[in-house]
């Protein structure tokens, strides 16, 4: 007997009705535990919020207006009713549930398999009229409560207080597996449905890396003084230059090559010159890399290279002027074998056994096997040498460490330029004066606290170009949460890098800190807000820059 969608809906309602994680988890686990394989896969994917798995690159591509039309038709409501309901709920699913009060015209109850078949068909259909007809046919069979979730899934906005990690936990509970194994299989396979089936069958360990479904990138923790490195882990240390370009995760399989940005977007078309050289490397693989330009053997500064970024298609002259080089510093998969759990030292060796044609290369890897006494001086020399090559500083990595996707740990340490900077999110903007009249040029910005809340830490005049300021003005006008006249509270989705001379305790901002002489160094469109610097990092910087008065780099630090 195929499972009915109504039971899935009852479970989703139970999840939505409680804020308690354990209750959500128990409801999910009870439900998932009684499904057969096909239904289990579909149900788990739907709980994760999408019609398809992450590995599946199909999209429904049903427009907002098509969805509203379908709700209007099914409910018999007027445009005004829909508008008013949307004002109340700000969620199309809740609108559908409120307005659809009559039983479905088509009495055949929806099974999970019907949904899966309908999503396949919608994704495979071209033309908005044909898609509309399919969405209408689906809603014709749905009750109001079913329509709530159909609208959420089709509209791409699930929001029922359920994170994918909770679905993973429920799967682990339902089939008596450990959470880490479930999470690992889901991360590799990029399909929570397949993961659930594997958990049931006891084959989680056999999960393979799904190509072209990018995984979170491992992040580094900043080190403020060289003496700090030895406190993080013991020798030997793997040291590489820190290249100041853009992060890229490269996937190759079956002759296809794709590059993904740090926000996991496909950016292959931005670097067309890298595709053929990558394709020329035999086999399948996933690489972690930095893309930048070199001129006369030196790295071109990021601000210069940035000129060819930010456009979907790069003009030929910019490509000729700033040809991209890809520096691959890690390998995460090779010919079907996931390598995440292997120690870095082994991954680094494997990476260096691949034939990399130019403009692909690997960083020069130094092994420093020194104790805490001699280490800072050796790192200081390496730092200066890296800066001499036009690079930003150093990455110091633990050779024993696995690759931890999406995590910032102590196994990768970054030693940056002496200029103190923080990556922050813009929370409010203000109209400028004089030359900056008519543009939003003053930014207030925040770091993240332990609970992930934004805490303001400073305010600065924009140091951006006129064009950037004009563009950002438009962006902020469109993303204003509250217009207070001079000041606008904005959606905190813009990440900037700010430099400053000192951080001091102060009650001016709710972080309890304030910056002296803050300057906006650059926009960081490549960095999601979830990855901005933390209040904890800012506090450490405050103690460091506070002592010694001037706040300038001291001799033991990085020159
Ligand atoms: P940040 O963007 O300042 O948080 O520093 C971490 C970034 O450094 C990574 O996201 C990479 O884009 C970049 N990076 C440059 N060189 C390396 C390297 N050798 N190893 C790892 N990351 C690197």
Tell me how far the alpha carbon of residue 448 lies from the centroid of ligand 1, in angstroms.
20
Q: Percent helix, strand and coil across the chain, each rounded to 5?
A: 40, 20, 40
Protein residue closest via CA to atom 23 of ligand 1: 242
Indicate the number of domains in the chain. 3
Residue ranges in the chain modelled with pLDDT below 70: 417-419, 462-463, 501, 543-559
Q: How far apart are CA 313 and CA 458, in angstroms?
A: 36
Structural domain includes residue 176: no
Cα-trace Rg, the chain:
26
Domain containing residue 346: 219-415
Question: How far apart are alpha carbons 343 and 108 in whole angstroms?
Answer: 55
Quote the pLDDT of residue 555.
27
Query: Is 438 in the same domain as 364?
Result: no
- Examine the domain organization and report whether 358 and 476 are in the same domain: no
| CATH (domain of 117) | 1.10.3260.10
Shared domain for 260 and 398, answered yes or no, is yes
Q: Residue 262 Cα, ligand 1 centroid: separation in angstroms? A: 10
What pLDDT was estimated at residue 546? Answer: 45
Angle at 100 between CA 94 and CA 106, to 5 degrees: 130
d(CA 151, CA 68): 9
In a domain, 196, yes or no: no
For residues 47 and 191, what is the distance between their CA atoms, to the nearest angstrom?
12
C-beta atoms surrounding 59 within 10 Å: 12
Residues in contact with 340: Cβ distance below 8 Å, sequence separation at least 6, in sequence order: 188, 332, 402, 403, 404, 405
> 543 near 459, Cβ under 8 Å?
no
Residues in contact with ligand 1 (CB, 6 Å cut-off): 220, 240, 242-243, 247, 290, 329, 363, 395, 414
510 shares its domain with 543: yes
411 and 457 share one domain: no
What sign results for the dihedral spanned by CA atoms 552, 452, 45, 65?
A: negative
In a domain, 60, yes or no: yes
Do 308 and 449 fall into the same domain?
no
- How many whole angstroms from 66 Cα to the centroid of ligand 1? 42
Going by CA atoms, what residue is nearest to atom 11 of ligand 1?
247
Residues 348 and 467 in one domain: no
In sequence order, the β-bridge partners of residue 238 are 367, 397
The residue nearest atom 16 of ligand 1, judged by CA position, is: 242
Question: What integer pLDDT is reported at residue 55 of this predicted model?
Answer: 92
Query: For 522, which DSSP code?
Result: E
- Tell me whether residue 433 is in a domain: yes
User: Measured between alpha carbons, how far is residue 489 from residues 63, 456, 480, 507 in Å?
Assistant: 29, 12, 6, 20
Give the end-to-end CA distance of the chain in Å, rounded to a whole number.
71
Query: Is residue 405 assigned to a domain?
Result: yes
Domain finish residue from 415, 449, 475:
415
Could you tell me the pTM of the whole model?
Answer: 0.73
Residues 38 and 111: beta-carbon distance below 8 Å:
no
Q: Is residue 27 included in any domain, yes or no?
A: yes
* Residue 348 and residue 425 in one domain: no
Helices 21-32 and 164-175, interaxial angle, to 10°? Answer: 60
Residue identifier of the C-alpha nearest atom 17 of ligand 1: 242
Which residues form the catalytic set?
242
What CATH number corresponds to the domain at position 500? 2.40.50.140
Query: pLDDT value at position 9?
Result: 98
* Ligand 1 pocket mutation, candidates 241, 290, 417, criterion most atoms within 8 A of CB: 290
Tell me: do 226 and 86 sit in the same domain. Answer: no
Of all atoms in ligand 1, which is nearest to the CA of residue 416? 3
Q: Are residues 139 and 266 in the same domain?
A: no
Distance CA 276, CA 357 (A): 10
Same domain, 290 and 411: yes
CATH code (residue 373):
3.30.470.30
Which of 215, 220, 244, 420 to probe ligand 1 with, by most ligand atoms within 8 A of CB? 220
Which of 138, 155, 172 represents a domain boundary (last residue)? 155
Residue 53, SS3? Answer: coil
**pLDDT for 559:** 25
| Burial (0-12, 13-18, 19+ Cβ within 10 Å), 306 | middle
Q: Which of 356, 390, 415 is the C-terminal boundary of a domain?
A: 415
DSSP 348-405: HHHHHTS---TTEE-PPPEEE---TTTHHHHHHHHHHHHHHTT--EEEEE-TT----T
Residue whose CA is at the smallest distance from ligand 1 atom 18: 242
Cα 491 to ligand 1 centroid, rounded to whole Å = 27
Residues 473 and 405 in one domain: no
For residue 291, is it within any domain?
yes
Classify residue 482: in a domain, yes or no.
Answer: yes
Query: 91 C-alpha vs ligand 1 centroid, how far in Å?
Result: 38
> From the alpha carbon of 262, which atom of ligand 1 is closest?
10
Tell me, in angstroms, the distance from the centre of ligand 1 to residue 284's CA: 24
């Amino acid at each position: 007997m195929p499972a009915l969608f109504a039971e899935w809906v009852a479970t989703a309602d139970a999840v939505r009705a409680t804020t308690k994680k354990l209750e959500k988890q128990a409801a999910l686990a009870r439900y998932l535990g009684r499904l057969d394989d096909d239904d289990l896969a579909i149900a788990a994917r739907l709980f994760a919020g999408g019609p398809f798995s992450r590995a599946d690159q199909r999209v429904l591509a049903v427009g907002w207006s098509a969805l509203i039309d379908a709700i209007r038709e099914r409910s018999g409501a007027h445009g005004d009713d829909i508008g008013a309901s949307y004002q109340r709920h700000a969620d199309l699913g809740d609108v559908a549930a409120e307005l659809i009060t009559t039983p479905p015209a088509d009495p055949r109850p929806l099974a999970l398999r019907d949904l899966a078949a309908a999503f396949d068909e919608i994704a495979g259909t071209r033309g908005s009229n044909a898609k509309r007809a399919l969405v209408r046919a689906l809603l014709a069979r749905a009750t109001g409560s079913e329509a709530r979730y159909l609208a959420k899934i089709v509209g791409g906005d699930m929001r029922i207080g359920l994170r994918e990690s909770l679905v993973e936990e429920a799967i682990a509970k339902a089939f008596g597996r450990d959470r880490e194994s479930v999470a690992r299989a889901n991360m590799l396979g990029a399909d929570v449905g397949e993961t659930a089936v594997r958990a049931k069958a006891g084959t989680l360990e056999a999960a393979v890396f799904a190509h072209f479904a990018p995984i979170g990138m491992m992040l580094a923790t900043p080190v403020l003084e060289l003496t700090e490195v030895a406190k993080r882990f013991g020798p030997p240390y793997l040291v590489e230059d820190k290249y100041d370009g853009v992060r890229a995760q490269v996937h190759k399989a079956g002759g296809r090559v794709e590059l993904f940005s740090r926000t996991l977007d496909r950016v292959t078309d931005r670097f067309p010159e890298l595709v053929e050289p990558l394709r020329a490397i035999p086999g399948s693989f996933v690489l972690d890399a930095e893309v930048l330009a070199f001129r006369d053997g030196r790295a071109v500064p990021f601000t210069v290279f940035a000129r060819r970024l930010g456009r979907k298609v790069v003009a030929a002259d910019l490509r000729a002027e700033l040809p991209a080089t890809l520096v691959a510093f890690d390998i995460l998969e090779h010919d079907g074998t996931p390598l995440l759990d292997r120690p870095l030292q082994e991954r680094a060796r494997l990476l260096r056994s691949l034939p990399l044609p130019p403009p692909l290369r690997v960083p020069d890897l130094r092994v420093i096997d020194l104790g805490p006494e001699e280490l800072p001086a050796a790192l200081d020399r390496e730092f200066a040498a890296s800066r001499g090559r036009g690079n930003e500083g150093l990455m110091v990595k633990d050779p024993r460490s696995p690759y931890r996707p999406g995590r910032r740990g102590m196994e990768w340490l970054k030693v940056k330029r002496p200029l103190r900077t923080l990556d922050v999110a813009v929370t409010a903007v203000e109209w400028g004066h004089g030359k900056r009249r008519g543009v939003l040029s003053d930014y207030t910005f925040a770091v993240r606290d332990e609970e992930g809340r934004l805490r303001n830490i400073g305010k600065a005049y924009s140091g951006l170009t006129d064009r950037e300021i004009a563009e950002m003005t438009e962006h902020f006008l469109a993303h204003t949460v509250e217009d207070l006249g001079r000041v606008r509270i904005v959606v905190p989705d813009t990440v900037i890098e700010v430099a400053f001379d000192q951080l001091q305790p102060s009650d001016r901002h709710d972080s309890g800190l304030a910056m002296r002489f803050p300057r906006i160094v650059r926009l960081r469109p490549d960095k999601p807000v979830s990855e901005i610097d933390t209040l904890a990092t800012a506090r450490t910087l405050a103690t460091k820059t506070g002592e010694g008065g001037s706040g300038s780099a001291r001799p033991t630090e990085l020159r």
